Amino acid sequence: MKQLIDLSTWNRREHFTFFSGFEEPFWGVVTDVDATQALQRARDLGCSFFQLYLHCTLQAVNQVENLRYRIEEGQVVCYDQIHASPTLGRPDHTFGFGFVPYHPELAAFGEGLRAEIAAVHASQGLRLGPETGRTDVIHFSAMPWLSFTGLTHARAFAHPDSIPKISVGRIRPENGRQLMPVAINVHHGLADGYHVGLFVEALQQALDQA
């Protein structure tokens, strides 16, 4: 479900109009989160760390209203719930786009994730389609091969886009902790640094409580 935002009374109407006129309205930041407790929790549960931190990411996104905003046909809508459209790798080192519905329970979420991973492995190409083209998602990617401090995305500026893009990198040990880089890029007409800060705080809490 989604609701239409009344732009005439919205406190971000000028921000939205201003940044929507940019050729590149997205901005982004890279920061670290502490994955120490989450790694141990994944081992205790016998689930993949990927399943755990993707679930934690969706938990955090759904807590921040501004990350549930999307621009559709020039209007701003707010979705009740956001899901994941991750890039999922194959044994031949290609990837396909996936759709994984959010579920508050980690085990139920994992069932959907495993089914989508199996579907990607059994397919070829990018898997473009109605599900992977939904707007009530985050675009998510994992790069466990490197620990990054900056990140850019391929963008077709002529294509309207307002979906947050979140990526994570390889964990690195530091002072007894396991730190994981997280990059988030958002449409500036919909979200500012404050809202990204809320997301990072919520993600850290979810990782610690996982």
The one-letter amino acid code at 14 reads E
Above pLDDT 70, what percent of the chain? 100
Q: What confidence category does residue 208 fall into, taking pLDDT thresholds of 50, 70 and 90? A: very high
Instruction: Note the pLDDT tens digit of each residue in 5-55.
Output: 999 999 999 999 999 999 999 999 999 999 999 999 999 999 999 999 999
- Give the distance from CA 15 to its chain's centroid: 23
Q: What confidence category does residue 195 fall into, taking pLDDT thresholds of 50, 70 and 90? A: very high
Instruction: Note the pLDDT tens digit of each residue in 123-169.
Output: 999 999 999 899 999 999 999 999 999 999 998 888 889 999 999 99
Domains of the chain: 2-209 (3.30.559.10)
Instruction: Note the pLDDT tens digit of each residue in 53-77.
Output: 999 999 999 999 999 999 999 999 9
Closest by CA position to 165, among listed 143, 134, 187, 145 = 187
Is residue 136 within 8 Å of residue 83, measured between CB atoms? yes
DSSP state of 100: B
Least confident interval from 119-123, 128-132, 204-208: 128-132
What are the strands, taking DSSP E only, across the chain?
A: 2-4, 26-34, 69-72, 75-79, 83-89, 95-97, 137-143, 165-169, 172-174, 177-187
pLDDT at 158: 82
